[in-house]
């Protein structure tokens, strides 16, 4: 039927009931996929264009105006040819005629209908709720009435001590009112906080001047015409001139029910956001019930919007599987976070009791609780310092094995970006012009503006829009904090599910599994089979190129066009477009002849600068592209791979050949390891070190793999990092012999090559995967170890010969012409024609 | 303005680039997937990076120094960056690539 209509040249008609955040987001997603697919009509019951409801409390506090929180101006609807009916509430859906009718008689016929009617605040049915001065806190009209009331009255009360209630209370206090919060439970925010966090929050809010009446039910609203007071179940009364009900929301299903669409608590939808009853009717947002759950936070609703857009534009690849929700909020200046099963309840028959790890600093206003189930993190509550929330949430979702981190997990994971977990919200204390991303010079203000103006919800979007976090990534936790503080709700998404980049919706792990399943051996084949958008970008193309070669070392074809110039030319580009050359010096051990040769080459080729690197070798800087082959030839050493996602160096101390403390031959073992692993592509750069005794002069404890000699054996450490993200390496195992140490290291490297995401250093990977998992596969399961080593050997076999040797031995004409041309053509004008 | 012969079009495969030097000026010539040849000054508007060494996707090249993306059709940097590089006309005649300077 749709095809017939299209053949007549008419667009399909898309009608949406509701003009809120989730619905409009779905329309935006549709337009982004195909701008010209639908004729779009939107009905909104409110008279304002789509605004950010999350920021209503800032309207109340006077921090922001309606213009500030508007997400889509009227002009946006015009530019996108959307017919917008504002202030018109749809009162009837005639599914038989595929038609909706609004209160003023406006009709619209649809091919596809989206119901995005949102929710309404629940009003407790007690006597007096119809009195003047009894409000809810849901839309701009409520805000206006509160502001109006604050001008004539002094006493206000808020029924409901959840997030919304506390936000309303804070807003009313800012308007100069004396506010009491009435809550039916003993603890505030009992859905998001445990007892301790709730009591700390209440104490803090009391210090700010808020009053509380907890574990108390309101029986009656008093007054003659306008409200004058409240009466409670314990018989007491409270004087008040304004009552705000904030006890929860109910999905708006009346319209859907009237149209005989199946509803429970919300409108029931399938994994495509299609209603159960009518495939031409979809629903999205707070009015929806999916797999028995309703959602009220923005992140899951935006995810639903995306899935809906995919399906109605005919790209039904993706399904909505429900969202794990964490809460990261700012309540009246206090940061709180919770996720998972954070309330410890008595275990059911046959279940182990969950353990908790707690940290309380009442004076400093910091409280952290981790709930642990066996080796996994089951839930967490953070109060005052929520910087670690995103990471903990990911661990909960991924079921990460945390047994090796138990002792330190609660203290967070200091990185340069968010150093100083001392109960201070770093972001809150930053002035707007503070630089958040040092690499790209992006300020806090720029990021905040981008989030509000562009409606961003993920770190990837922030990076795409502002470049913050796009280089070293050290500021990623800060960007997360800014997102949380601006959006005021959960935005976290498990890394595993994040698409590789804007060119695809698929995540790294899924892409890897498809490459293996469908035997994709080239970047082009992977992009074609996995329906890539366009020709990819500098983020996804190198990743695909790595994955195909890692998966099929024998058959895969390298695509030089999918490599950064450094890996294409086997040299490291510098700021002026020249290159640096780092010869391989195994284990940092050299000889007079080698040194003399390097010196001679540098002098003959007039190398402008020579420097010793941190990895015990020599860097020749300022070499022009044309000079690279000549220098390589004269050096006559293998490439040091100082430019690649591959083994860089194996740093060694002098060891028992010279050192009076040395217990092992660290130089010998380091050289052996470097010779074994050189030329292997890895997900990210790989740095090793071998020390001959626990004095650890080679600094093995901050390397991807660090080996420390002890009397009678080796200790092998993994997952260390001394750069952007300081992390001490963890003990993987101890071996008696050098042979066994080599085996373990080889298996470990192969596991990392296969399992990690492209670009992921071992420090991140070890943390994600869990040390025990890695131990099981590499140390304990000897069969698996042997299989890993076998696959590593295949990759080593396929890695071929040294790239420098390769490039200089092929004459210019035999070389692939593109990208590997070292010459610039000089044209002197003689060949000109008219 | 004059047309200059660069090289045989066979010598520049798709999704690759080459550079030519005319006096002080270095020009990067790109062969796009759709068959077109695009010529721009080989100098990123950001910090003078050699665009010819960048990864080419569609009609965009990503500068190897700081990942600015340059639209090779009009020379403009893609948002969030802002800047422009000089572009030159190209044509194919008798299988040769020509550029107008």
* Chosen from A449, A546, A827 to mutate, greatest number of chain B CBs within 10 A: A827
Q: Across A30-34, A347-351, A465-469, which has the greatest mean pLDDT? A: A30-34
Q: Of the candidates A561, A569, A577, which has its C-beta nearest B15's C-beta?
A: A561
What are the residues whose beta carbons fall under 8 Å from the beta carbon of A787, sequence distance 6 or more?
none
Residue A309, H or E segment: helix A298-312
Say if B36 is an interface residue toward chain A (CB within 8 Å): no
| Section A91-101 average pLDDT | 95
Closest CA to A616 of A643, A597, A579, A589: A589
3-state secondary structure of A462: helix
Q: Which residues of A344-368 are buried (b: 16+ CB within 10 A; e: fewer)?
A: eeeeeeeeeebebeeeeeeeebbbb
Q: What percent of chain A has pLDDT over 90?
A: 59
Tokens linked to A175: 């308007």
In angstroms, what separates the C-alpha of A757 from chain B's closest C-alpha? Answer: 21
Q: Are A342 and A357 in contact (CB under 8 A)?
A: no
Residue A827 has pLDDT above 60, yes or no: yes
- Among A533, A538, A539, A624, which would you mutate to test the B interface (most chain B Cβ atoms within 10 Å of its Cβ)? A538
Give residue A816's pLDDT: 47
Q: What angle do CA A108, A109, A114 make, to 5 degrees?
A: 85
Token pair listed for A509: 């792990």
Q: Does residue A756 have a pLDDT over 60? A: yes
Report the range out of A91-95, A141-145, A448-452, B97-101 with the highest average pLDDT. A91-95
Residues of chain B positioned with their CB less than 8 A from the CB of A628: none
Please give the Cα distance from A724 to A243 (Å, whole number).
52
Please give, rounded to a whole number of angstroms, the shortest distance from the CA of B95 to a CA of chain A. 15
Average pLDDT rounded to a whole number, residues A538-549: 96
- Note the pLDDT of residue A58: 76
Task: Measure Cα distances from B85 to A451, A465, A830, B15, B26 in Å.
Answer: 29, 21, 26, 19, 12
Q: What is the three-class DSSP state of A13?
A: strand
Q: Give the pLDDT band (50/70/90) at residue A429.
A: low
Cα(A618)–Cα(A432) distance, integer angstroms: 43
pLDDT category of residue A492 using cuts at 50, 70 and 90: very low
A536 chain-B contacts, CB cut-off 8 A = 57
Pairing between β-strand A134-136 and β-strand A242-245 as defined by DSSP bridges: parallel
Tell if the CB–CB gap between A834 and B3 is shorter than 8 Å.
yes
Q: Establish if B82 touches chain A: CB-CB under 8 angstroms.
A: no
In this predicted structure, which of A321-335, A370-384, A572-586, A797-811 has the lowest mean pLDDT?
Answer: A321-335
Please list the residues that pair with B22 across neighbouring strands.
Answer: B25
Domains annotated on chain A, with CATH:
2-118+251-312 (3.50.50.60), 134-247 (3.50.50.60), 326-496 (3.30.390.30), 508-563 (no CATH), 646-674+682-800 (3.30.413.10)
Question: What are B30-55's pLDDT values in tens digits?
Answer: 999 999 999 999 999 999 999 999 99
Asked whether the predicted pLDDT for residue A814 surpasses 80, the reply is no
* Cα A691 to Cα A616, A697, A706, A715, distances in angstroms: 14, 6, 8, 10
Average pLDDT (A543-558) is: 95
Q: What is the least distance, in Å, from the CA of B8 to any CA of chain A?
A: 12
- Identify the closest residue of chain A to B66 by CA–CA distance: A471
Exposed/middle/buried for residue B27 (C-beta within 10 Å: 0-12, 13-18, 19+): buried
pLDDT band at A818 (very low <50, low <70, confident <90, very high): very low
Residue of B nearest to A828 (CA): B22
- Output the six-digit token pair for A270: 């399938």
User: Which residues of chain A neighbour B15 with C-beta distances below 8 Å?
Assistant: 535, 561, 818
**Average pLDDT, stretch A104-114?**
95
Residue A426 has pLDDT above 80, yes or no: no
pLDDT band at A495 (very low <50, low <70, confident <90, very high): very low
Averaged pLDDT of chain B: 91
> By percentage, how much of chain A surpasses pLDDT 70?
93
- Residue-level pLDDT at A2: 40
Sheet holding A12-17: strands in order across? A82-86, A38-44, A12-17, A112-115, A281-283
Q: Beta strand pairing status for A211-213 and A178-182?
A: parallel
By C-alpha distance, the chain A residue nearest B44 is: A577
Q: Which of B17, B32, B57 to mutate to test the interface with A (most CBs of A within 10 A)?
A: B57
B86-95: average pLDDT: 92
Q: Is B55's CB within 8 Å of A829's CB? A: no
Please, what are the domains in chain B?
A: 3-100 (2.102.10.10)
Whether the per-residue pLDDT at A498 is higher than 80: the answer is no
Return the higher-pLDDT residue of A128 and A471: A128
For the cut 70, the answer to whether the pLDDT of residue A718 exceeds it is yes
Q: Predicted confidence band at A497 (pLDDT cuts at 50, 70, 90)?
A: low
Q: Which of A465, A538, A832 sits opposite B3 (nearest CB)?
A: A832
| Cβ-based contacts of A470 with chain B (< 8 Å) | 67
Measured between CB atoms, does B58 come within 8 Å of chain A?
yes
Give me the helix-helix angle, A444-454 and A459-466, nearest 10°: 110
pLDDT recorded at residue A10: 78
Query: Measured between CA atoms, how close is A550 to chain B, in angstroms?
Result: 21
SS3 A652: strand
CA distance A565 to chain B (A): 6
Q: Kindly report, residue by residue over A263-277, the tens digit of the pLDDT.
A: 999 999 999 999 988
A213, containing H or E segment = strand A211-213
- For A824, the closest of B16, B21, B47 (CB atoms) is B21
Predicted confidence at residue A584, as pLDDT, reads: 96
Residue A418: predicted pLDDT: 40
Give the closest of B20, B26, B55 to A538, CB-based. B55
pLDDT grade for A3, boundaries at 50, 70 and 90: very low
Query: Chain A closest CA to B87's CA: distance in Å?
Result: 18
> Omega of the bond prior to A47 within 30 degrees of 0, cis?
no
Size of interface A-B (CB pairs under 8 A): 102
Q: What residue in A sits closest to B96 (Cα-Cα)?
A: A831
Residue A817: what pLDDT? 46
- A576-A577-A582 Cα angle (round to 5): 100
The span from the CA of A677 to the CA of A669, in Å, is: 12
Tokens encoding A124: 């407790």
- Structure-block tokens of residue A43: 């009905």
Give me the sign of the Cα torsion angle A692, A696, A700, A706: positive
DSSP code at position B95: T
Q: How far is CA A96 from the centre of its chain?
A: 44
Chain B nearest-CA distance from A826, in A, is 5
Q: Would you call B57 and A821 a contact, using CB atoms and an 8 Å cutoff?
A: no
pLDDT at residue A395, rounded to an integer: 82
More confident residue, A380 or A51: A380
User: Which two tokens mark B46?
Assistant: 């950001």
Could you please report the per-residue DSSP string of A42-103?
Answer: EEESSSS--B-GGGHHHHHTTSS-HHHHBSS-HHHHHHTTEEEEET--EEEEEGGGTEEEET
Number of alpha carbons in the 13 Å side-chain half-sphere of residue A415: 19
User: What residues of chain B lie within 8 A of the CB of A833, using their CB?
Assistant: 2-3, 5, 98
Residue A664 near residue A704 (C-beta atoms within 8 A)? no
Sort out which chain A residues have CB atoms less than 8 A from B79's CB and list them: 465
Q: Which residue of B has its CA nearest to A464?
A: B80
Crossing angle of the two packed helices A476-487 and A459-466, in degrees rounded to 10:
110
Cβ pair A247, A138 in contact under 8 A: no
> Is residue A52 very low, low, confident or very high in pLDDT (cuts 50, 70, 90)?
confident
Quick count: other Cβ atoms within 10 Å of Cβ A6? Answer: 12
Q: Report how far residue B36's alpha carbon sits from residue B30's, in angstroms, rounded to the nearest whole number.
A: 8
Q: What share of chain B is helix, strand, coil (3-state, %, to 5)?
A: 5, 50, 45
Residues paired with residue A689 on neighbouring β-strands, in sequence order: A651, A706
Cβ of residue B41 closer than 8 Å to a chain A Cβ = no
For residues B22 and B77, the answer to whether their CB atoms sit within 8 Å is no
A56-66 pLDDT tens trace: 877 887 777 88
pLDDT band at A326 (very low <50, low <70, confident <90, very high): confident
Least Cα distance to A182 among A217, A134, A131, A225 occurs for: A217
| Predicted local distance difference test score (pLDDT) of residue A106 | 94
Average pLDDT over chain A reads 87
Instruction: Locate A774 and state its tokens.
Output: 């890695």
Q: Are A442 and A809 in contact (CB under 8 A)?
A: no
Q: Does B64 touch chain A (CB under 8 A)?
A: yes
Chain A residues in contact with B34 (beta carbon < 8 A): none
Q: What are phi and psi for residue B27, nearest 5 degrees?
A: -115, 135
Q: Summarize pLDDT for A383-400 with one digit per residue, the tens.
A: 988 878 877 887 887 788
- How does residue A493 score in pLDDT terms, banded at 50, 70 and 90? very low
Tokens read off for A451: 């989030």
Q: Judge whether B83 is closer than 8 Å to chain A, CB to CB.
A: no
Strand order in the sheet with A713-718: A647-652, A686-691, A705-710, A713-718, A730-735
Residue A584 in tokens:
């391989």
Residue A30 pLDDT greater than 90, yes or no: yes
Rounded to an integer, the average pLDDT of A748-766 is: 95
Report which of A828, A750, A747, A832 is spatially closest to residue A783, judged by C-alpha positions: A747
Three-state DSSP at A434 gives: coil
As a whole number of angstroms, the distance between CA A3 and CA A9 comes to 10
Interchain pair A541, B57: CB under 8 A? yes
Whether residue A699 is predicted with pLDDT greater than 90 in this model: the reply is yes
* Cβ distance of A831 and B4 shorter than 8 Å: yes
Query: What pLDDT score was predicted for residue A491?
Result: 53
In which element (H, E) is residue B60 found?
Answer: strand B60-62
CB contact under 8 Å between A564 and B64, yes or no, is yes
Chain A residues touching B7 at Cβ < 8 A: 825
């Amino acid at each position: 039927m749709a095809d017939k209509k299209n053949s007549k040249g008419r667009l399909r008609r898309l009608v949406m009931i509701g003009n809120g955040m989730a619905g409009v987001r779905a329309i935006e997603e549709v337009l982004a996929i195909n701008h010209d697919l639908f004729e779009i009509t939107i009905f909104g019951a409110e008279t304002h264009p789509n605004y950010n409801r999350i920021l209503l409390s800032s309207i109340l506090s006077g921090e922001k105006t309606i213009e500030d929180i508007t997400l889509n101006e009227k002009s946006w609807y015009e530019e996108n040819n959307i017919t917008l009916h504002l202030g018109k509430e749809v009162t009837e859906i005639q599914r038989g005629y595929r038609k909706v009718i609004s209160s003023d008689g406006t009709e619209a016929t649809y091919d596809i209908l989206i119901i995005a009617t949102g929710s309404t605040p629940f009003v407790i049915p007690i006597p007096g709720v119809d009195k003047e001065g009894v409000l809810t806190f849901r839309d701009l009209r409520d805000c206006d009435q509160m502001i109006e009331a604050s001008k004539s009255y002094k006493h206000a009360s808020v029924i409901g001590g959840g997030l919304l209630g506390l936000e309303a209370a804070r807003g009313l206090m800012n308007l100069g009112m004396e506010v009491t919060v009435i809550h039916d439970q003993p603890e505030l925010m009992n859905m998001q906080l445990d007892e301790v966090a709730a009591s700390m929050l209440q104490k803090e809010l009391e210090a700010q001047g808020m009053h509380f009446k907890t574990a108390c039910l309101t029986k009656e609203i008093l007054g003659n015409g306008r409200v004058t007071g409240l009466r409670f179940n314990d018989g007491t009364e409270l004087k008040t001139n304004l009552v705000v009900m904030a006890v929860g929301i109910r999905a708006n299903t009346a319209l859907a029910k009237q149209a005989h669409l199946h509803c429970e608590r919300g409108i029931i939808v399938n994994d495509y956001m299609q209603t159960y009853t009518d495939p031409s009717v979809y629903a999205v947002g707070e009015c929806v019930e999916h797999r028995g759950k309703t959602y009220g936070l923005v992140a899951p609703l935006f995810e639903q919007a995306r899935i809906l857009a995919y399906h109605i534009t005919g790209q039904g690849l993706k399904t909505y599987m429900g969202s794990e929700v964490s809460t990261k909020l700012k309540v009246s200046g206090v940061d709180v976070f919770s996720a998972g099963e954070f309330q410890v309840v008595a275990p059911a028959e046959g279940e182990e009791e969950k353990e908790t790890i707690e940290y309380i600093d009442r004076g400093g206003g910091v409280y952290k609780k981790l709930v642990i189930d066996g080796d996994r993190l089951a839930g967490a509550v953070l109060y005052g310092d929520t910087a670690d929330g995103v990471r903990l949430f990911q661990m909960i979702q991924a079921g990460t094995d945390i047994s090796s981190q138990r002792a330190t997990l609660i203290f967070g994971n200091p990185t340069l970006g968010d150093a100083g977990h001392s109960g201070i919200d770093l972001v809150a204390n930053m002035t707007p012009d503070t630089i958040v991303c040092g690499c790209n010079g992006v300020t806090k203000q720029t990021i905040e503006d981008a989030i509000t103006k562009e409606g961003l919800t993920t770190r990837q979007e922030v990076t795409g829009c502002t470049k913050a976090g796009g280089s070293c990534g050290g500021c990623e936790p800060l960007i997360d904090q800014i997102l949380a503080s601006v959006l005021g709700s959960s935005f976290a998404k498990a890394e595993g599910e994040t698409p590789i980049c804007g060119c695809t919706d698929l995540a790294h792990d899924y892409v890897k599994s498809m490459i293996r399943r469908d035997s994709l051996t080239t970047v082009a084949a992977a992009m074609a089979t996995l329906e890539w958008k366009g020709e990819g970008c500098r983020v996804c193309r190198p990743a695909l190129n790595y994955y195909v070669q890692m998966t099929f070392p024998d058959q895969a074809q390298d695509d030089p066009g999918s490599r950064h110039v450094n890996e294409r030319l086997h040299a490291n580009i510098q700021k002026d477009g020249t290159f640096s050359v780092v010869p391989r010096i195994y284990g940092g051990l050299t000889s007079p002849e080698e040194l003399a040769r390097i010196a001679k080459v540098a002098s003959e080729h007039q190398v402008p600068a020579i420097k010793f690197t941190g990895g015990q070798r020599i860097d020749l800087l300022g070499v022009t592209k044309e000079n690279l082959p000549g220098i390589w030839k004269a050096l006559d050493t293998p490439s040091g791979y100082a430019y690649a996602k591959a083994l860089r160096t194996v740093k060694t101390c002098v060891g028992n050949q010279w050192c009076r403390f040395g217990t092992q031959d660290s130089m010998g073992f380091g050289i052996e390891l470097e010779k074994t692993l050189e030329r292997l592509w890895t997900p990210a750069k790989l740095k090793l070190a071998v020390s001959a005794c626990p004095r650890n002069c080679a600094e093995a404890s901050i390397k991807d793999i660090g080996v420390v000699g002890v009397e009678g054996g080796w200790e092998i450490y993994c997952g260390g990092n001394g750069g952007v993200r300081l992390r001490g390496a963890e003990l993987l195992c101890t071996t008696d012999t050098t042979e066994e140490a080599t085996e373990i290291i080889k298996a470990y490297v192969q596991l990392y090559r296969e399992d990690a995401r492209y670009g992921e250093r071992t420090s991140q990977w070890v943390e994600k995967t869990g040390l025990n998992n890695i131990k099981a596969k590499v140390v304990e399961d000897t069969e698996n170890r042997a299989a890993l080593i076998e696959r590593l050997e295949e990759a080593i076999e396929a890695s071929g010969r040294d790239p420098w040797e390769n490039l200089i031995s092929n004459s210019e004409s035999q070389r692939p012409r593109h990208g590997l041309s070292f010459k610039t053509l000089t044209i002197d004008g003689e060949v000109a024609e008219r | 303005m004059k047309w200059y012969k660069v090289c045989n079009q066979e010598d520049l495969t798709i999704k690759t680039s080459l550079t030519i030097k005319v006096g002080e000026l270095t020009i990067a010539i790109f062969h796009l997937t759709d068959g077109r040849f695009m010529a721009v000054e080989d100098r990123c508007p950001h910090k003078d990076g050699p665009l010819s060494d960048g990864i080419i996707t569609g009609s965009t090249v990503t500068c190897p120094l700081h990942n600015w993306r340059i639209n090779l059709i009009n020379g403009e940097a893609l948002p969030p960056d802002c800047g422009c590089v000089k572009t030159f006309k190209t044509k194919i005649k008798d299988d040769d690539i020509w550029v107008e300077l």
